[in-house]
Amino acid sequence: MDNKKVSDSGGGSFFKSKYSEYRNQVKATKEFDSSLTKASTPKTSTPAPAAAKPEGQPNAQTNQAATQQAVLKGAADDMLPSGQLSPKITQFMGMIKESAARHGVPPELVAGIIWQESRANPQAKSYCGAQGLMQLMPQTAAGLGVTNAWDPAQNIEGGTKYIKQMLDRFNGKVEFAVAAYNAGPGNVTKYGGVPPFKETQGYVPNVMGYAANFKASGLFVESSNTMRA
């Protein structure tokens, strides 16, 4: 597999262009997925059993278009009115930067996943048992060397290591890696891209939008780990 390296060049513009692209699509659609705004109940993030195949399965190209049309409801809710980031996430920025640098992952992407998964709640637990900031399933956490998923540093380290594995597996394609974090790499491979599952179709642009916001916040301006398109 072609493991794309990370660099400063074009990283911010990539996330911003993706965010602008999704926002433009929002203007042209009236479809709303209310699950995108539920901050109180974290969603399953680590690989889960494959969802049932819906009737009339769209192809990979259609899947991608559907992802781009997903509504980014609440994509700026990590920002306070003053433009400051919520202290819920800033308290973990040191850990995020350290793990991101160690694994060569954009820190804003890690922060985006954390915000989507748990709204930066280290005690979050999903209905299916996913735990902590990055919502690691116990079996996945163990495989990543995480002995205590409730410990923020270990959770962030495990989740960052996992998204790095997905980036490597899908040749640096950020959208595919994010989709794999939510729906499992097997489903991304099966459908040749973002799977046609309602949750994943909303999850991917939401995380990308959050990543763009975190990048725009300037907190990661000194970081050299920025994803290329």
pLDDT band at 117 (very low <50, low <70, confident <90, very high): very high
Q: Residue 69: how many CB atoms within 10 A of its CB?
A: 15
173, two tokens: 């394609």
**pLDDT mean over 59-67:** 43
Chain segment 147-199, per-residue pLDDT in tens: 999 999 999 999 999 999 999 999 999 999 999 999 999 999 999 999 999 99
Q: Contact, 150 vs 131, CB < 8 A?
A: yes
Which comes out higher in pLDDT, residue 138 or 64? 138
Catalytic residue selected from 108, 117, 157, 175: 117
Grouping H, G, I as helix, E, B as strand and the rest as coil, residue 172 is: coil
In one letter, which amino acid is 108? E
What are φ and ψ of residue 39, in 5° steps? -80, -20
**Fold exhibited by the domain 11-37+59-216:** Lysozyme (1.10.530)
Task: Round to whole Å and give the CA distance between 86 and 72.
Answer: 19
- pTM, two decimals, is 0.67
The torsion angles phi and psi of 222, rounded to 5 degrees, stand at: -85, -5
* pLDDT for 87: 82
pLDDT tens per residue, range 129-157: 999 999 999 999 999 999 999 999 999 99
Write down the pLDDT at residue 40: 34
Tell me the helices (H) and strands (E) count for the chain, helix number first.
Answer: 10, 0
- Predicted local distance difference test score (pLDDT) of residue 219: 78
- Told to judge if 117 belongs to the known catalytic residues of this protein, a careful annotator would answer yes
| Of 117-121, 214-218, 221-225, the least confident | 221-225
Identity at 78, one-letter amino acid code: D
Tell me the C-alpha distance between 170 and 188, whole Å: 9
Q: How many whole angstroms from its chain centre is CA 97?
A: 16
